[in-house]
Amino acid sequence: MTPVARAEPEGLRFNHNPACEEQRVEYLVLARKCRPQNFEEVVGQDHAVKTLRNAIHQGRIAHAFIFSGPRGVGKTTVARILAKALNCEKGPADEPCNECSNCREITEGIAMDVREIDGASNRGIDEIRELRENVKFSPLSSRYKLYIIDEVHMLTREAFNALLKTLEEPPAHVIFIFATTEIQKIPATILSRCQCFEFRRISLKQIKDSLRRISEKEGVQISEKGLAWVSEAGDGSLRDAQSILDQIISYAGFAIRDQDVEDILGLTDRRFLFRLSKAVSERNAGLCLKIIEEGYYAGLDMKYFYQMLIGHFRNLLITKIVGKDHDLFDLGDEEMANLSMQTEGVSQETIQRLLDILMAEEENVKRSQNPRINLEMVLVRMAYLEPMIAIDKWLSRMEGLEKRLASGGTVHVKPSSYEVREASALPSRGREAAKAAESGMVGEAHHGHDAAEGKIMEDIWEDLKAFVKKQSYPLFSKIEPGVFLGYENKRLKIGFHKNYIFLDDITGKAQKERLTEIAKAYFRDDVTVIIESLDTEQYGQRNKNHNSAANNNKNNNARRDALNHPLLQKVLDVFDGAVVREVTTTGSNDDSVKS
């Protein structure tokens, strides 16, 4: 029968190019194509590589290893390289030759003596029992029989128990290599029988350098900014970064623009972060709400975006604390520059408080049925937060004021506060009262019953005692119980109870001369001091009148001293807008003033 030729419909003709089919079948993704084949090519795991190479060189090969760490950092890759190094026909060698039949078979995944087992799908006790039976047989063509169990933490408890005895005393030709991303799920009895290597996240710079080499080798044109974005998206996983680069090449071809990288990675989300943090620092709550609305209609997942916002403010805080040139950061240069710029003029305490607010509401946002509203309310709180100033800055300013006061400098105080009385100034109220007394307004104390007259006398006495206290505290303590009897014709009269214990001391020559000397300095005149002895009735009446007026004067003096205290004035000067609203005296001691 003669075959009938059928015409393909127009537009549906396919080019059946065998070369194309072969190319399509043999294509390997970058993560597989660029997988390291020797220890020298492994990126970011120098601590593990160095230990394994030295162990091979010294002949100290353990019978079981555990490689733990995040995904895509080289655990299974290093396990295969170790298998090749141990079974290489030119070895054991600290570097496999990758040319002998054993190395090639392990590389291609067809080696009979190197078995890779998926712990997730072979997690039961039956599979482990089968493994226990197989380890008894010698390797077919290699030096060692290796079992590489990936995601070993997925094994059941019974499977781990079945593996224990074999793992503790395996045959000399058997080596176990376990890989896991969750080492905390592996029983301690297993961990104690293995050498454990913790694989670390790969730094942004190492990922970026590796992607640059791959791009040059593959003929891919991509900017340094694009490489930084892809590296950052890898989140410490070189395999993830390679997969992202592969995806971008499929999207944009071999000439990749920055816009193409943004489209694939969705970097517009990050732009919302910087815009929001800027609006918060400017205390513009309205702009924060507008940005959230814009992001909502752009398709942002509010719960996921909230986590990004926490991370963003964490980066701002660390930038403020340690600066941009630090190993704590794994970000691109452009993003680091933006972070540094946004922290200018904002205190560390303010950023830390903003981050506290975000973290405090994290659980509520996770559980919320409408996370957008939660996010909006949190941002409004953040925008209206008063800026916070570091206490060390306040203390620094106050220390400067103290130095100025100590050196006799002037402290300028705002009109809303009280004037500072110079420390060297002498009391003036008493002198004015003394002038009034000299003019005849005040006579002997027993002649003065008018309230104004008593007020003037108490002014003289209280100010005089304060002056004596500054000159001689022991003398002040002795005249403190006395009562003021009058000041007339340059004669100062003071009365004491006739049974006062220090009466003889005060009337003695030395103390009386000292008191006269101080009184002359106070009144700035040639004053004579007269000490009188009072009986109980006289002293009681005079002291009663004295205490009634003196208490009022003491309270007034205490308030005045508190308001004029240099420390209070420093506080008023440092804290803008601060005003003293109330001064309260506590206790009987005139030194105990609470403000």
pLDDT exceeds cutoff 80 at 403: no
Confidence of residue 176 (pLDDT cuts 50, 70, 90): very high
pLDDT in tens, 289-302: 999 988 888 788 88
176, 162, 177: which is closest to 125 by C-alpha?
162
Whether the bond into 92 is cis, omega within 30 of 0: yes
Asked, for residue 572, whether it belongs to a domain, the answer is no
Domain with 50 in it: what CATH number? Answer: 3.40.50.300
Q: What is the pLDDT of residue 197?
A: 92
Best CA proximity match to 534, nearest among 550, 545, 549: 545
Token pair for residue 407? 């050196």
Q: Which amino acid is at 390?
A: A
The CATH number of residue 222's host domain is 1.10.8.60
**Is 419 part of any domain?**
no
For residues 38 and 154, membership in a common domain is answered with yes
- The partner residues of 487 in beta bridges, in order of sequence, read 492
How high is the pLDDT of residue 297? Answer: 85
Among 43-47, 278-282, 474-478, the minimum mean pLDDT is found in 474-478
Listed residue (181, 235, 246, 226) closest to 203, CA to CA:
235
**Angle, to 10 degrees, between the axis of helix 75-87 and the axis of helix 101-108?**
160
Shared domain for 309 and 377, answered yes or no, is: yes
Closest CA to 43 of 205, 160, 193, 155: 205
User: Is the pLDDT at 480 greater than 60, yes or no?
Assistant: yes
Is 172 in the same domain as 273? no
pTM confidence score = 0.55
Span of 229-238, 344-353, 548-557 with lowest mean pLDDT: 548-557
pLDDT of residue 551: 54
Q: Which residue, among 294, 282, 293, has the nearest Cα to 376 in the 3D structure? A: 293
Do residues 278 and 237 share a domain? no
Range of the domain at 109: 30-198
First-to-last CA distance in the chain? 117
In the predicted model, what is the mean pLDDT of residues 564-579? 60
Is 50 exceeded by the pLDDT of residue 84? yes
Task: Return the pLDDT at 299.
Answer: 80
CB contact at 8 A, 489 and 434: no
Two tokens at 55? 């162990």
Which string of DSSP letters, residue by residue, matches 434-479?
A: HHHHHTTS---GGG--SHHHHHHHHHHHHHHHHHHHHH-HHHHHHH
The answer to whether residues 206 and 94 touch, using CB atoms and an 8 Å cutoff, is no
pLDDT of residue 471 exceeding 50: yes
Tokens of 573: 């000067």
Is the same domain home to 136 and 190?
yes
Q: Report pLDDT for 475.
A: 84
CB 313 within 8 A of CB 306: no
Place of tokens 């933490």: 153
Strand order in the sheet with 528-534: 483-488, 491-497, 528-534
Same domain, 51 and 147: yes
Which of these ranges, 370-379, 413-422, 511-520, has the smallest mean pLDDT?
A: 413-422
For tokens 């002649």, the residue is 447
Residues 84 and 179 in one domain: yes
- Separation CA 46–CA 40 (nearest Å): 9
Residue with the bigger pLDDT between 420 and 177: it is: 177
- Residues 6+ positions from 165 with CB-CB distance below 8 Å: none
Closest CA to 145 of 258, 39, 63: 63
Q: CA angle, 210 as apex, 204 and 211 as ends, to 5°?
A: 90
pLDDT for the residue numbered 584: 59
Residue 595 covered by a domain = no
Please state which of the ranges 121-135, 150-164, 235-249, 313-327 shows the lowest mean pLDDT: 313-327
| Cβ contact 468:475 at 8 Å | yes
* Across 419-428, average pLDDT: 35
More confident residue, 362 or 27: 362
Of the chain, the percentage scoring pLDDT greater than 70 comes to: 72
Residue 385 and residue 351: Cα distance in Å, rounded? 10
**CA–CA–CA angle 477, 479, 482 (5° rounding):** 130
Could you tell me how many residues make up the chain?
A: 595
Query: Residue 574 has what pLDDT?
Result: 60
**Cα–Cα dist 577/581, whole Å:** 12
On the question of pLDDT at 65 being above 90, the answer is yes
Domain presence at residue 101: yes
What local confidence, expressed as pLDDT, does residue 13 receive? 41
**Of 577 and 109, the one with more pLDDT:** 109
- Banded model confidence at residue 257, pLDDT cuts 50, 70, 90: confident
Residue pair 312/273 in contact (Cβ under 8 Å)? The answer is: yes
For the cut 50, the answer to whether the pLDDT of residue 10 exceeds it is no
The reply to whether 188 and 211 lie within a common domain is: no
Give the pLDDT of residue 117.
87
Within a 13 Å sphere around the CA of 8, how many CA atoms are in the beta-carbon half? 6
Tokens of 452: 């104004």
Name the 3-class secondary structure at 161.
helix
Domains identified in the chain, total number: 4
Q: For 112-131, what is each residue's pLDDT tens digit?
A: 888 888 888 877 888 888 88
Q: Which of 220, 237, 265 is the last residue of a domain?
A: 265
Spatial neighbors of 350 by CB under 8 A, at least 6 apart, are 385, 387, 388
The conformation of residue 263, written as its DSSP 8-state character, comes to H
Do 78 and 188 fall within a single domain?
yes
Residue 19, domain member (yes or no): no
In a domain, 485, yes or no: yes
Pick the closest to residue 365 from 357, 350, 375 (CA basis). Answer: 375
What mean pLDDT do residues 389-416 have? Answer: 56
pLDDT at 31: 86
Pairwise CA distance, residues 511 & 307, whole Å: 79
* DSSP per-residue letters across 89-108: TT-S-SS--S-SHHHHHHHH
Cα 571 → chain centroid: 28
Burial of 39 (C-beta count, 10 Å sphere; 0-12/13-18/19+)? buried
Q: Are residues 179 and 250 in the same domain?
A: no
In a domain, 559, yes or no: yes
In a domain, 379, yes or no: yes
Q: Are 218 and 326 part of one and the same domain?
A: no
* 139 and 156 together in one domain: yes
Does the pLDDT at position 265 exceed 50? Answer: yes
Q: Residue 444 has what pLDDT? A: 39
- Residue 174's nearest CA partner among 119, 126, 136 is 136
Mean pLDDT rounded to a whole number for the chain? 77
